[in-house]
Chain A
Amino acid sequence: MKFNLSSFFYLSITLLLVFALNKKLGSIPPLGKFLDPFNGFWQQAEPRNATTENTLQIEGLKGKVSVMFDENRVPHIDAENDYDLYFAQGFIIARDRLWQMDFQTRFAAGRLSEVIGEKAVDLDKYNRRMGMGFGARNMEAFVKKDPKMKGVLDAYTHGINAYIKTLKPKDYPIEFKLLDYAPENWKPINSAFLLKLMSATLAAASNDFYMSNALSKFGPEVINDLFPNYPFREDPIIPEGTKWDFQPVGKPAVPEGLSYQTDIKLQPKEEGLGSNNWAISGNKTSTGFPMLANDPHLEMTLPAIWYQNQLTAPGINVYGVTIPGSPGVIIGFNKEVAWGVTNVGSDVLDWYKITFKDHTKREYLVGKEWKAVKKVVEVIKVRGMKTITDTVLYTHHGPVVYQEGEKPKSFPKSNNIPVGFALKWIAHQPSNDIKTFYELNRAKTYADYRAALIHYVAPAQNFIFASKENDIGITPNGYFPLKWKGQGKFLLDGSNPSHEWKGRVPAAHNPTVKNPARGFVSSANQFSTDTTYPYYLHWEFTGYERGARINRQLSTMEKATVSDFQALQNDNYSIHAENIRDVLLKNIHQDQLNERELSALDVLKKWSLRYDAREKAPSIFEWWHKRLAIGIWEDEFSDEKNPMIMPSRDRTVELLISDEKAIWYDNKNTSVKESKQDIITQTYKATIDSLYKIFGEMGSSWEWGHVKGTNIPHLAKIAGFGTKTLYTGGSKTAVNAISQTTGPSWKMVVSLGPKVQAFGLFPGGESGNPGSFYYDNMVEKWAGGKLNSLYYYEKGNPDTKRIKQTISLISKN
């Protein structure tokens, strides 16, 4: 064979082409590999109708498990023992949601750079520096001491890994193919990471830094006036006047020199996500048995945040939702009881100024002693680059998240983090939260419910409960640090031992109420209690409007039905609008308005105060009241160097209702002195102007459903994997708190009784595969405010009409 130039040329071209098509270029997946129908994305194109019967042989099962799928492809898992139950749950969830589980664990663990590359480095550093790994390891070590929970986590882990073992590259979920990486084995700590992620979402809000800046600028008198420790209007979760039947433990004394003073751009106040739950006693329902509803609101993504499943084995038959990667059911019901959760916004995150001995930062001051700093080296693998190491200093408070020069410039998540401070955060606490759910899943009575709550640490939740025995109750529950009133409202001094958390509020002293006289219990993230509760939980909670609306509706309900509850979940009425619409209309300078401004004002006057999708008034009102708040506060509270937050919506309402002459109305940046009426008129004109500019003439394009533009993006924001824009009503100040990307991530209504009946759905589908018909099949129904009837399977009595497919899992060995 002699050398041939053209052969060499053709061979080089071919090899080069194959090489290029097998390699990921930037965000473009390897084209040959990805478009190949034998191994590429086409393999994830699921037929509409799956096969109906199937038997899978799996290594590691003890007995036989039946998995029955209903018309929404919700699995009803029937196992012979606990081990097989959690094994099968892990197996089936991985089958539907493996990539989501992988991605979210990587996110929490600060390991996204491994698969995404350099652009995720700041995020990875942030999550590691916040101590997510520290917290997850503490949790894993603690859970391992409990043989029963260790057994649950191990079985679940084995199930997930048994599924991963069945996969060939062609079977990998599509995102693995797009991002060009392979799934790795699951570890028990991953479940801990996912629970830490819930704390990061729900219990990591912190305005301490902004508040200290405001305190430095305005002094305590103004701050106490504008940022009070209890709101102007409230309707607390535990009904006002409820008696506390315990002797409070000694509260820490308020130290001298209240907090650390900072030496000192406006942060728009982030509205809470907006969850609701309620339960009413049997004497207010049509059946005579209690009913319970829950709709936890979250930043919505696809694949859906939640996964519906039913778990049946000796001693347990529970239906509900869980987070993929966490064993058991988190919100749900069984034959005897139902329970749900909403977030408690208690203050469980504080910042401590660290005084280092010298520039080596080996020791720091506590009282009169120098304590040793622990250095932790984080090793971050980065795709396509050299591995990065990042050294984090740990004190007994927690990690020093950023030292001088370490805070990234354009990384919004780090905005509220003060430099040189250590983070004390509940998510670092060892905890056995999954045990609470393990026990709730098996609960039969109110006593079981109370006993289950004791294990729970974070993120604190309003656990609502109802039982067939006609008990209802609610408990804002979790680890609440024992604090002096206002502790952690501002930054704290790490060298002063009296600034530290002094243990916890005893779990038995957490606020709770059973069967109150009014016949119902509810929560919507508002203040847990009135001011008679002897412990301090926080100075600010989410506004009271949703809670007040729920309570108003529930108090008038007699012989309530499932559709009454459904209607309340979809209720768009805004108490905030009720509070200030007329004040605004009364104070506006009508003589200064032009024709189109007057006609828009007319729409507002006639408004029903409901944020319905087809109404135009909510678009005007929503933009106006937000602009007005900024108009009032921005000139004082906006400072590039010392970021602050604005006073709350509640304080703004109070100002508008009861204060004619406050200095805050005047815009300091103009030479004239604005009155309340001026600022109201100016912001109204600006609002109408913006609406015209963006949406044109006042017509259907002004409808709230269009202006709000709700949509559900993909978890990794992959184009085409999210939803279209959905036409929905709702507001943060209405029970139906759907915003652009947040909303009810699961809606459930349970009617207890001789035969439990339940309804529910979430904005998504059971499958995590964008190539499946069950990826987003519930979205449309969800947007329309409808619910699915949930099928509650009972052993030995399967409903053959509801079960569409059965998979038998049997042991291989």
Chain B
Amino acid sequence: MLILILIIVSFIAQSFLPWWIIMPVCLIGGFFFSKSGKQAFWSGFSSIFMLWVIKMLTLSLPNEHLLANRIGQVFMLPESNNNWIILLLAGAVIGGLVGGLSCLTGNSFQKTK
């Protein structure tokens, strides 16, 4: 449930606001809908991780990963047709971490209610 809410709200918010909007979204989500710290973190993490992976794939697949493979070299990776996988995972993990930590923070505020 929490995951679904986070994915939908983050998707809408991200469509016209900067990337860090996922932080308040997950924080509020965690505050109202999480059951435990652990559940909050993993819900936040997996929802942003999944949302980002799906969005990345919808952009990168029609591009045949041309750009993502080039960007790999910007980050010092050797030239390869699989760089996109690393970037996709790195990006999604970063997004997931922010989502997870925000959700966990939200959950921790429950105890102060």
B98 touches A718 (CB 8 A): no
**Given that A10-B104, A37-B91, A47-B63 are known contacts, is A720 also in contact with B71, CB under 8 Å in the complex?**
yes
Q: Which of A15-23, A397-405, A451-459, A605-613 faces chain B? A: A15-23
Tell me if B29 counts as interface (CB < 8 A to partner A): no
Which of B14, B62, B94, B113 sits near A35, CB closer than 8 Å?
B94
Bound: A11/B104 CA distance, A: 9
A2 touches B112 (CB 8 A): yes
Bound: A282/B27 CA distance, A: 77
**Given that A35-B94, A36-B95 are known contacts, is A45 also in contact with B68, CB under 8 Å in the complex?**
yes
A17 touches B101 (CB 8 A): yes
B1 shortest CB reach to chain A, Å: 22
Tell me if B90 counts as interface (CB < 8 A to partner A): yes
B67 touches A10 (CB 8 A): no
- Interface-centre pick from A48, A169, A720 (highest chain B CB count, 10 A): A720
Tell me if A563 counts as interface (CB < 8 A to partner B): no
B60 touches A42 (CB 8 A): yes
Which of B27, B56, B72, B97 sits near A17, CB closer than 8 Å?
B97
Q: How does the 8 Å CB contact mask read for A715-736 relative to B, with 1 for contact and 0 for none?
A: 0001111001000000000000
B74 touches A178 (CB 8 A): yes
B111 touches A36 (CB 8 A): no
Tell me if A391 counts as interface (CB < 8 A to partner B): no
B76 touches A38 (CB 8 A): no
Within 8 A of B (CB), among A1-28: 1-4, 6-7, 10-11, 13-15, 17-18, 21-22
A14 touches B20 (CB 8 A): no
Tell me if B81 counts as interface (CB < 8 A to partner A): no
Tell me if A46 counts as interface (CB < 8 A to partner B): yes
- Whose C-beta in chain B lies nearest to the C-beta of A38? B14
Which of A4, A13, A178, A773 sits near B111, CB closer than 8 Å?
A4
Within 8 A of B (CB), among A715-765: 718-721, 724
Which of A13, A37, A178 sits near B59, CB closer than 8 Å?
A37
B112 touches A18 (CB 8 A): no
**Given that A22-B20, A39-B18 are known contacts, is A7 also in contact with B59, CB under 8 Å in the complex?**
no
B101 touches A10 (CB 8 A): yes
B98 touches A37 (CB 8 A): no
Q: How does the 8 Å CB contact mask read for A85-127 relative to B, with 1 for contact and 0 for none?
A: 0000000000000000000000000000000000000000000
A14 touches B105 (CB 8 A): yes
Q: How does the 8 Å CB contact mask read for A760-795 relative to B, with 1 for contact and 0 for none?
A: 000000000011110000000000000000000000
Which chain B positions have C-beta within 8 A of A2?
112
A18 touches B111 (CB 8 A): no
Q: How does the 8 Å CB contact mask read for B10-31 relative to A, with 1 for contact and 0 for none?
A: 0000110011100100010000
Tell me if A40 counts as interface (CB < 8 A to partner B): yes
A50 shortest CB reach to chain B, Å: 11
Which of B20, B67, B113 sits near A41, CB closer than 8 Å?
B67
B98 touches A45 (CB 8 A): no
Which chain A positions have C-beta within 8 A of B59?
37, 42-43, 45
Which of A10, A39, A770 sits near B19, CB closer than 8 Å?
A39
Tell me if A31 counts as interface (CB < 8 A to partner B): yes
A168 shortest CB reach to chain B, Å: 8
- Whose C-beta in chain A lies nearest to the C-beta of B70? A720
Q: How does the 8 Å CB contact mask read for A330-368 relative to B, with 1 for contact and 0 for none?
A: 000000000000000000000000000000000000000
Tell me if A549 counts as interface (CB < 8 A to partner B): no
Chain B interface residue count, Cβ-Cβ cutoff 8 angstroms: 43
- Whose C-beta in chain B lies nearest to the C-beta of A13? B101
Tell me if B39 counts as interface (CB < 8 A to partner A): no
A21 touches B67 (CB 8 A): no
A38 touches B19 (CB 8 A): yes
A18 touches B23 (CB 8 A): yes
- Whose C-beta in chain B lies nearest to the C-beta of A2? B112
B71 shortest CB reach to chain A, Å: 6
B98 touches A14 (CB 8 A): yes
Bound: A641/B42 CA distance, A: 67
A7 touches B112 (CB 8 A): yes
Bound: A192/B69 CA distance, A: 37
- Whose C-beta in chain B lies nearest to the C-beta of A720? B73
B100 shortest CB reach to chain A, Å: 9
Which chain B positions have C-beta within 8 A of A719?
73-74, 76
Tell me if A706 counts as interface (CB < 8 A to partner B): no
Bound: A560/B87 CA distance, A: 53
Tell me if A33 counts as interface (CB < 8 A to partner B): yes
A11 touches B63 (CB 8 A): no
A330 shortest CB reach to chain B, Å: 29
Within 8 A of A (CB), among B79-93: 79, 87, 90-91
A38 touches B15 (CB 8 A): yes
B108 shortest CB reach to chain A, Å: 4
Tell me if A32 counts as interface (CB < 8 A to partner B): yes
Tell me if B8 counts as interface (CB < 8 A to partner A): no
Which chain A positions have C-beta within 8 A of B60?
42, 45
Which chain A positions have C-beta within 8 A of B63?
45-48, 771
- Whose C-beta in chain B lies nearest to the C-beta of A9? B108
Which of A6, A14, A21, A771 sits near B102, CB closer than 8 Å?
A14
Tell me if B52 counts as interface (CB < 8 A to partner A): yes
A41 touches B101 (CB 8 A): no
Tell me if A261 counts as interface (CB < 8 A to partner B): no
B98 touches A42 (CB 8 A): no
Which of A10, A42, A46, A169 sits near B55, CB closer than 8 Å?
A42
Bound: A46/B70 CA distance, A: 13
Which chain A positions have C-beta within 8 A of B67?
41-42, 44-46, 174, 770-771
Bound: A40/B65 CA distance, A: 15
- Whose C-beta in chain A lies nearest to the C-beta of B11? A38
Tell me if B66 counts as interface (CB < 8 A to partner A): yes
Tell me if B109 counts as interface (CB < 8 A to partner A): yes
A47 touches B62 (CB 8 A): yes
- Whose C-beta in chain B lies nearest to the C-beta of A770? B70
**Given that A21-B94, A32-B19, A43-B59 are known contacts, is A1 also in contact with B108, CB under 8 Å in the complex?**
no
Which of A3, A15, A31, A178 sits near B94, CB closer than 8 Å?
A31
A85 shortest CB reach to chain B, Å: 32
B19 shortest CB reach to chain A, Å: 4
- Whose C-beta in chain A lies nearest to the C-beta of B72? A720
Bound: A47/B67 CA distance, A: 10
A37 touches B94 (CB 8 A): no
**Given that A2-B112, A40-B19 are known contacts, is A35 also in contact with B95, CB under 8 Å in the complex?**
yes
B90 touches A35 (CB 8 A): yes
Within 8 A of B (CB), among A169-204: 169, 174, 178
Which chain A positions have C-beta within 8 A of B71?
41, 720
Which chain B positions have C-beta within 8 A of A14?
23, 27, 98, 101-102, 105
- Interface-centre pick from A3, A18, A36, A41 (highest chain B CB count, 10 A): A36
**Given that A35-B90, A37-B59, A45-B60 are known contacts, is A7 also in contact with B108, CB under 8 Å in the complex?**
yes
**8 interchain residue pairs of minimum CB distance:** A720-B73, A771-B67, A35-B91, A45-B63, A36-B19, A47-B62, A37-B55, A10-B105
Q: List 13 A-B contacts (CB under 8 A).
A: A2-B112, A11-B105, A18-B23, A33-B18, A36-B14, A36-B19, A36-B95, A37-B59, A42-B67, A45-B62, A721-B70, A721-B74, A771-B63
A14-B105, A41-B68, A45-B68 provided; 20 other pairs, C-beta below 8 A?
A: A3-B112, A4-B108, A4-B111, A7-B111, A14-B98, A18-B20, A18-B98, A21-B20, A22-B20, A31-B94, A32-B94, A35-B87, A40-B91, A42-B55, A45-B63, A169-B18, A718-B74, A720-B73, A771-B63, A771-B67
